[in-house]
Structure formats: C-alpha cells, structure tokens
Amino acid sequence: MSSEPTLYERLGGRSGVEAVVDTFYERIMRVDELYSYFANTDMIQQKYHMATFLGVVTDDSAQFDTARLSTAHAGLGITDDHFALVLAALAAVLKEYGVTPIDRYTVAAKLRLLRDVIVQQVKR
Ligand code: HEM
C-alpha cells in the first residue's frame, strides 16, 4: 500500500480540479477552431461534468459514466485536429498548474483512449 497522494489530491481535490477546468475552458474559448462548438453550451453544467470527469482521470474515487461522452459528442463532427487541440489545451493548463511531465503524460494517455468515442471524421 502506498500513501503517495494521487494527482487528484496534489491538484487540491475537487476545488483544485475545478480551477484547472476553469482555466481550461478559458483557453478553449480562445482557440478559433474550438470556441464556436460551445456557443450554445451551458458552461456551468459543462464545467461541472468536466471536473467530475477529470477527477476520475486523476484518480478521484468518484464515478463518471463514459457512455455520456459518446452521447455528448455525437453528431458534432469532431475531427482529429479538434481532438488534438483539446488535448494540447489541457496539457498546457496542467503544465501551468505545475503538473509534472509524467503526470501530464498519464492524463493524455488516458484521454487518447477516448478518441474513438469523441472523434467522428466527417468525410465529404
Ligand atoms: C479527450 C477529449 C475530450 C474530453 C475528455 C471531453 C469531455 C467532455 C465532457 C465531460 C462533456 C460533458 C458531457 C456530459 O454532459 O456529461 C463534454 C461535452 C462536450 N464536448 Fe467534449 N471532451 C473532449 C473533446 C471534445 C472536443 C475535441 C470537442 C470539440 C471541439 C468537444 C466539444 C464538446 C461539446 C460541444 C460538448 C457538449 C456541450 C453541450 O452539451 O452543449 N469535446 N465533453
């Protein structure tokens, strides 16, 4: 048994993760290719769900129903480029919050596993 604090704990628990999520969406809203996706989104709800999701990814014991991710992103025409931009934004914010390279790598690796539920290549 290890008593090492999890990344979730090192970020400061729920309130720390919420701060990361706030900064993350500030950054997303400054990216030309991304912000319009959230034009009709209730950002209070969005941040709540993202904080819960990120909590699970960083080892909070809470649960997140990943099937929700498929539903939430269905039909949005999200490309690999969008996906890469979101991952890059999150990595930059985690770096800003002092998260180590290995922890950033771990988070990114977990998120990359979700590529197939989020990305839908729109071929015309
Ligand atoms: C690994 C990458 C991503 C993660 C972890 C993620 C996470 C989430 C989460 C947790 C939600 C809320 C789901 C719910 O309501 O329960 C959500 C919704 C959403 N995401 Fe993502 N997302 C990712 C990538 C993207 C990308 C690339 C885009 C498009 C640029 C995007 C656009 C949206 C939109 C538009 C919504 C729904 C907003 C609404 O309901 O109005 N997401 N995402």
The superfamily CATH assigns to domain 7-118 is: Globins (1.10.490.10)
Whether ligand 1 lies within 6 angstroms of the CB of 118 is answered as yes
Quick one: which atom of ligand 1 is closest to the CA of 33?
Answer: 30
Quick one: which atom of ligand 1 is closest to the CA of 54?
Answer: 5
Which residues of the chain are under the pLDDT cut of 50? Answer: none
Q: Residue with structure tokens 């480029």? A: 81
Q: Residue with structure tokens 């290890």? A: 2
Q: Which amino acid appears at position 46 of this protein? A: Q
Whether ligand 1 lies within 6 angstroms of the CB of 29 is answered as no
- Specify the pTM: 0.93
CA angle 30, 21, 31 (to 5 degrees): 15
Q: How is residue 110 annotated by DSSP?
A: H
In the numeric block, which tokens belong to residue 111? 């998120």
